[in-house]
Amino acid sequence: MSTTALTRTGTELRRAFTEARSGWSWRGWIAVAAVALAALVPFLSLPGVRVDGLANTVYLAVAATGLGLTVGGAGLPSLGQGAFLAVGGFTSALLMAREGWPLEPAALAGAAAAVVAALLSGGVVRLKPAFVAVSTWLLAWLVWLFLLAFPSVSGGSQGLIVPERNLLGLAATPTVHFEVALALLVLSAVGIAAVRRSAAGLELSALRQAPPLATSLGVRLGRRRLGAFVASAFIAGLSGGLAVQLASVADPAAYDPFLSFKLLVAVLLGGAAATLGPAVGIAVLGLIGLLADPLARVLQLPLERFDTAVAAVLLLFVLALGGAGIIPWLEQLRPRAERRKRQVTVSYGDAEATGGPADTVLVAEGLRKAFGGVVALDGLSLELARGRTTALVGPNGSGKTTALRLLSGTEQADAGRVLLGGRDVSEASTHERVRLGLARTLQTTVAFAELTALESVLVGRSVRRRHGGAIRAALATPSSRAEERAAETAGLEALALVGLEREADTPAPELTSSQRRLVALAAALAAEPDVLLVDELAAGAGAEELEHLAGVVDRIRAGGVALLLVEHNLRLIRLVADRVIVLAAGRAVAEGPVAEIAETEVLRSAYLGAQRL
Amino acid sequence: MTIALQVLISGLAAGGVYGLFAAGHSLMYRLTGIVNFAFGDLVGLGIFATLLVLAGTSPVTQSGAHEPRFLGALIVGLVLCVAAGVATYVGIVQPYLARGSTIGWVAGTAAVAFAIRAVIGATFQRASYVFPDPLPFHRVGSAGFIRVAGAHVEARAFFVIGLALALALGSAWLLERTRFGRALRAVADDAEGARVVGVPVDLFVALAFGLVGALAMIAAIAAAPGEAVSANTGTLLGLKGLVAALAVRFGPPLRAFAAGLVLGVVEAGIANIHLGSWQLGPSYREVLPIAFVLLLIAAWPSREALEERE
């Protein structure tokens, strides 16, 4: 058994090596060369460049790179990264100065303290961006005011003196610090790049671009964002914990909220979208600082104030140019690669014939929801069976969308329950319900602004992935890579099912609104649901499109999915639905086979209402 | 008991100023959905412009101001403060709102904040300044302190509390009764709708950004001679306003004002009150309320603060 494991590991390693080699390009060599050159800098004794200042700048770049994950990856406008640097720095300094700890464990303890701080304030990642900005700004002030108010902790205006230490067995000279900081920078950049390309990174990016759409596909907003926030705090805490020994003093004045702002400026200056952007931003700020020094002396201005103003003005300038940052600008200069054409050979056969015993998979009993005094849904019960299409119709405001929200868990019902495969999921979150096989599409045609059609579908697939976690992806474990390939195949299949396999690599915003609806449908399908709730699939569809949609719905049903269509288009309903439920004022007023219901007066009066001519 | 009264009155005086900053923050948020991180510093700019006109950058004595000159200086400061507020909206906030870029206005207003602080710091290089007092409070009671039910209270405190209340209620009346105020409330409810029915949204919102600064600045200047002012004064007042506004989730301005009053009293209480031998002391005055509000929003966010989910 161990031999098979060994052989498998060997095969996987060889495959990984081949893939890495085919993925390697001149850019890879440039990166390696740049790092090697940078590592030599302390030995060159450049004029006017001090190694300790340089090492400190690289530590800052590490913290900024971490912030890049929060800002660029998760889309959280954090004004508080400096707080984590301070927490890491002072924890480490206190442990070294008062408890006599060695540097490495002290710095790790600093990182752990930063993680604790991030977890304590981590609830804010669930908030709207404006609230995230305020909360992180307050965090930066809180830490600084704390350091000022408690000289017993922070050493007051002199700061805490940090004793000499060894780093990785060598005396911690500025040069050693520089090399360690550089290694840390490379490690965190590579790690963050891997995470951003992983399934978790795709989820983060989906959450950044369209939170409602991503959460409806079962992506866990709080968990994913918290992950990014905490990881970025860890990186800052570690670099703060190490940097404080380099400075040989932990000075509260160095951690005022401007530090957090400076880190954000670096991220935006270098480009939040690029992993290396923040480090480039720090480098630019450092260079400007070097040039600003003599200028400030000539103008006889206090240096630190001048630095602040320069950073602020620079940022305003970049923002005014509508800038995405330096690295994205450079990338725009490069001729864009041809969009690769994908050969798709996926067929979605009508595997299972319709008919057969239709087992019920979803039961809703007495669902009720009131908003204030308005009863939106008043005791709706329904059953959905595999391979059956049920249509939910009714005039605007009759409670159709509310019904979908209660079924999918975006709203909690006031009364009633939902059973999925016999299991009560009334209390379960959207994520949990999607995982158990209850997927849903939204009425809007909002698309993920920066994803292709296939990537959008893969967001829906993420709920089925078990090895897609950030750490596994960063290490590119065999299981995570195998899953990556399987997910792509499943995504293409789902696209093929809705007839959009040719658009797999088209950016989602370039799709027409009816194509976007189909992509959203494919994304929901990629979660391999047993039950699929579809909101207004045929809105605005022409006659030809309707035929196509009917075909798509029939193929999905043939795959054994229980479908619930909320639909205004009666033609589509006639084409595909087995049963119809007519809603009026939150109650089911009629239910039965399409042919039957279509003839009755109930449908007309409820559905057409006053519009009847 | 006398301590409690002293704490209450000095707390309300500080809180009245916080309250006007909080009300300004909440009004700006409700109008645009943004948080103006430069708010405190914009007011600080007005305060220091007043000081510059009054006395230059040299230190002054507290009673060195004559009334006409003070009035002129105050007007210069107010005009600058309003103009800077309007410019911040037009130059920084509005473009990014139109583009839908959150990071743009967050970083932009923060940049304005730090730029103003740098300018003030470079012009006024001492650690702190005494703000001249046009009103002869030092002649009231014994050197400006009066006895109320056994407690020594600064006479100025009553003036600040009264002024802050008058400003808050006055602007609430303005929002409620005037055409301008009603238009602003319409914008807060539905900016697009207001635009459609002919409200000059950008003009009115820009004016509102300027005027909330003027209100906060008047209160801050009324309180300023009580203690030393520095480049951090405006920043910290803006921060306190933000804490109070966040505590009520940027609710209606009057509620934010009330939260500011509470924050002032709580701070004074933390600094002064001891229960038996247990006392927190002044070190905790600034950090505890911020930590509390931060934990509150992290653990129990209200619905309106949560990210949209469909």
User: In chain B, what are the domains?
Assistant: 2-305 (1.10.3470)
Choose the closest CB to B114 out of A215, A261, A430. A261
SS3 assignment for A27-63: HHHHHHHHHHHHHHHHHHCCCCCCHHHHHHHHHHHHH
Residue in chain A nearest B231 by alpha carbon: A305
Please give the DSSP secondary-structure letter assigned to residue B280: -
Choose the closest CB to B287 out of A127, A145, A272. A145
Structure tokens at A290: 């070097």
Residue A283 reports pLDDT greater than 70: yes
Q: Are A447 and A516 in contact (CB under 8 A)?
A: yes
Radius of gyration of chain B (CA): 20
Q: How far apart are CA A407 and CA A392, in angstroms?
A: 13
Residue B144 reports pLDDT greater than 90: no
Report ipTM (2 d.p.). 0.95
**Mean pLDDT to the nearest integer, A33-44:** 91
| Sheet of strand A415-420, all strands in order from the earlier edge strand to the far edge | A374-385, A360-371, A415-420, A423-424
Residue B43: name the closest of B117, B118, B125 by CA. Answer: B117
Query: In angstroms, how far is CA B202 from the centroid of its own chain?
Result: 23
**Mean pLDDT to the nearest integer, A395-413:** 90
- Residue A231 is predicted with a pLDDT of 96
- Residue A607 is predicted with a pLDDT of 60
> What are B168-203's pLDDT values in tens digits?
999 999 999 999 999 999 999 999 999 999 899 999
Chain B residues closer than 8 Å to A311 by CB? 111, 114
Residue B62 reports pLDDT greater than 60: no
Residue in chain B nearest A307 by alpha carbon: B118
- Asked if B309 and A221 come within 8 Å (Cβ–Cβ), the reply is yes
Phi-psi region of B37 (alpha: psi -120 to 50; beta: other; left: phi over 0): alpha
pLDDT tier at B125, thresholds 50, 70, 90: confident
Beta carbon pairs, A and B, within 8 Å: 155
**Mean pLDDT to the nearest integer, B18-42:** 96
Question: Residue A468: phi, psi to the nearest 5?
Answer: -90, 5
- Residue A337 is predicted with a pLDDT of 58
Radius of gyration of chain A (CA): 29
Query: Apex CA A138: angle with CA A134 and CA A139, to 5°?
Result: 115
pLDDT tier at B240, thresholds 50, 70, 90: very high
Phi-psi region of A155 (alpha: psi -120 to 50; beta: other; left: phi over 0): left
Residue A474 reports pLDDT greater than 90: no
Percent of chain B with pLDDT over 70: 97
pLDDT tier at A331, thresholds 50, 70, 90: confident
Q: How far apart are CA A447 and CA A523, in angstroms?
A: 11
**Mean pLDDT to the nearest integer, A402-419:** 92
- Residue A351 is predicted with a pLDDT of 46
Residue A12 reports pLDDT greater than 70: yes
Interface subset of B 125-164, CB within 8 angstroms of A: 125
pLDDT tier at A353, thresholds 50, 70, 90: very low
Distances (CA, A) of A573 to A114, A542, B57: 56, 14, 79
**Mean pLDDT to the nearest integer, A139-168:** 92
Structure tokens at A252: 């509260």
- Residue B297 is predicted with a pLDDT of 94
Match 């645009």 to its residue by tokens: B32
CA-based diameter of chain A, in Å? 91
Q: Are A562 and A530 in contact (CB under 8 A)?
A: yes
Contacts of A462 (CB under 8 A, 6+ apart): A199, A202, A203, A217, A218, A219, A468
Fold of A360-437+529-611: Rossmann fold (3.40.50)
Percent of chain A with pLDDT over 70: 92
**Mean pLDDT to the nearest integer, A136-147:** 96
Residue B81: name the closest of B187, B181, B219 by CA. Answer: B219
- Residue A179 is predicted with a pLDDT of 96
Residue in chain A nearest B284 by alpha carbon: A149
> What are A558-604's pLDDT values in tens digits?
999 999 999 888 889 989 999 999 998 888 888 888 888 877 776 66
Chain B residues closer than 8 Å to A71 by CB? 103
pLDDT tier at B66, thresholds 50, 70, 90: low
Residue B259 reports pLDDT greater than 80: yes
Residue B110 reports pLDDT greater than 80: yes
For residue B265, give the amino acid letter. V
- Residue A357 is predicted with a pLDDT of 56
Sign of the Cα torsion B46, B49, B55, B60 reads positive
Compute the mean pLDDT over every residue in chain B, rounded to the nearest whole number: 89
- Asked if A123 and B299 come within 8 Å (Cβ–Cβ), the reply is yes
- Residue A354 is predicted with a pLDDT of 47
Q: Are B65 and B43 in contact (CB under 8 A)?
A: no
Residue A542 reports pLDDT greater than 80: yes
Q: Are A395 and A410 in contact (CB under 8 A)?
A: no
Which residues, listed in sequence order, are joined to residue A145 by a DSSP beta bridge? none
Of A488-497, A519-528, A586-595, B26-35, least confident by mean pLDDT is A586-595
Residue A452 reports pLDDT greater than 90: yes
**Mean pLDDT to the nearest integer, A446-475:** 84
Chain B residues closer than 8 Å to A221 by CB? 307, 309
Choose the closest CB to A134 out of B92, B242, B306. B242
- Residue A350 is predicted with a pLDDT of 46
**Mean pLDDT to the nearest integer, B136-148:** 77
Of A105-114, A278-287, B39-48, least confident by mean pLDDT is A278-287
At A393 the three-state DSSP class reads strand
Note whether B87 contacts A: Cβ–Cβ < 8 A: no
- Asked if B107 and A264 come within 8 Å (Cβ–Cβ), the reply is yes
Locate the domains of chain A by residue range.
50-256, 360-437+529-611
Note whether B75 contacts A: Cβ–Cβ < 8 A: no
The H or E element that residue A374 is part of is strand A374-385
Question: Residue A504: phi, psi to the nearest 5?
Answer: -50, -40
